[in-house]
């Protein structure tokens, strides 16, 4: 028998206390206050983890409440009694579907269109582990501190970036592996241009790599396409567009990418 099943076994054999449901209800009611006390007292990394967990729970709760509200609004408008009742002239042109429902459907449709717009040339890439991405850099007078990391991959560092004092810098991005230009191919024109990189939009391996500006295979970067002369439907010049990296820059010594059009 597993270690933790002795309580269930005892309940099956001998039953529960008569006031067990009431005790359970009171315990659940106390739990809210205990969580609040814990949230006030906790600090450091545990506080961050707790807040992250609570944020996700609240977001799920908000979505559930919103879904119920939309359903109720839809049901109220389809009420039979309301259909039979006399309506004033300014309400006659209104449809039975709730405005909240229409707005919700519009938002969902726009999200679906946006998701379809960003179909990328390489949908799946091999994840890059931290051991491959970083090398441990020892520091301190006797070399016994090992909290610094050197990035082994190609990175993009903005011109306006201000470096921390070397003593306090945790992630070191070597100058030899920094790149500012990319060979971007336009899929429709079948032409390659050497364009300036504006920033790293998303690295599929990790959000931390995105923040550090690490460029690996499959990374979506933003490039300056002002010299290509692309214009929008309203006639404005397009300044920046996204492109996906298709090679391993640390092996090839350059960044090759395909423009997302």
pLDDT at 118 over 90: no
- Sign of the four-CA dihedral 120, 121, 124, 126: negative
CA angle 60, 62, 66 (to 5 degrees): 120
Q: Which of 103-112, 136-145, 150-159, 237-246 has the lowest mean pLDDT?
A: 103-112
Is pLDDT larger for residue 72 or for residue 68?
68
Residue range 193-219: mean pLDDT, rounded: 95
pLDDT at 96 over 90: no
pLDDT band for position 182 (cuts 50, 70, 90): very high
Q: Which of 44-48, 81-85, 158-162 has the lowest mean pLDDT?
A: 81-85
Is pLDDT larger for residue 82 or for residue 252?
252
Q: What gap in Å lies between CA 42 and CA 165, rounded to an integer?
A: 31
Q: Check residue 102 and give its pLDDT.
A: 64
pLDDT in tens, 219-239: 999 999 998 888 887 888 889
Report residue 74 CA to chain centroid gap. Answer: 31
Is pLDDT larger for residue 198 or for residue 90?
198
Whether 180 and 199 have beta carbons less than 8 Å apart is answered as no
pLDDT at 92 over 90: no
pLDDT at 203 over 60: yes
Q: Check residue 218 and give its pLDDT.
A: 95
- C-alpha closest to that of 199 among 172, 219, 183, 173: 219
pLDDT in tens, 15-46: 988 999 999 999 999 999 999 999 999 999 99
pLDDT in tens, 38-71: 999 999 999 999 999 999 999 999 988 888 887 6
Whether this model's pTM surpasses 0.85 = no
Average model confidence (pLDDT) across the chain = 86
Q: What gap in Å lies between CA 59 and CA 110, rounded to an integer?
A: 21
């Amino acid at each position: 028998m597993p270690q933790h099943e002795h309580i269930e076994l005892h309940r099956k054999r001998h039953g529960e206390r008569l006031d067990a449901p009431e005790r359970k209800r009171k315990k659940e009611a106390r739990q809210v206050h205990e969580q609040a006390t814990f949230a006030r007292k906790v600090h450091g990394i545990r506080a961050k983890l707790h807040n992250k967990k609570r944020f996700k729970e609240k977001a799920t709760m908000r979505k559930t409440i919103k879904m119920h509200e939309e359903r109720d609004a839809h049901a109220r408008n389809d009420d039979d009694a309301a259909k039979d009742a006399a309506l004033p002239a300014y309400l006659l042109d209104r449809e039975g579907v709730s405005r909240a429902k229409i707005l919700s459907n519009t938002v969902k449709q726009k999200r679906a269109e946006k998701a379809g717009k960003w179909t990328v040339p390489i949908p799946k890439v091999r994840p890059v582990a931290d051991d491959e991405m970083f090398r441990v850099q020892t520091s301190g007078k006797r070399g016994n501190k090992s909290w610094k990391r050197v990035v082994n991959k190609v990175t993009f560092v903005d011109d306006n970036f201000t470096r921390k004092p070397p003593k306090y810098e945790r992630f070191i991005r070597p100058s030899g592996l920094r790149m500012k230009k990319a060979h971007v191919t336009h899929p429709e024109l079948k032409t390659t241009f050497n364009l300036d990189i504006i920033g790293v939009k998303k690295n599929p391996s990790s959000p931390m790599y995105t923040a550090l500006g690490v460029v690996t295979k499959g990374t979506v970067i933003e490039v300056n396409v002002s010299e290509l002369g692309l214009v929008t439907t309203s006639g404005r010049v397009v300044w920046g567009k996204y492109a996906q990296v298709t090679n391993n820059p640390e092996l090839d010594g350059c960044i090759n990418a395909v423009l997302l059009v």
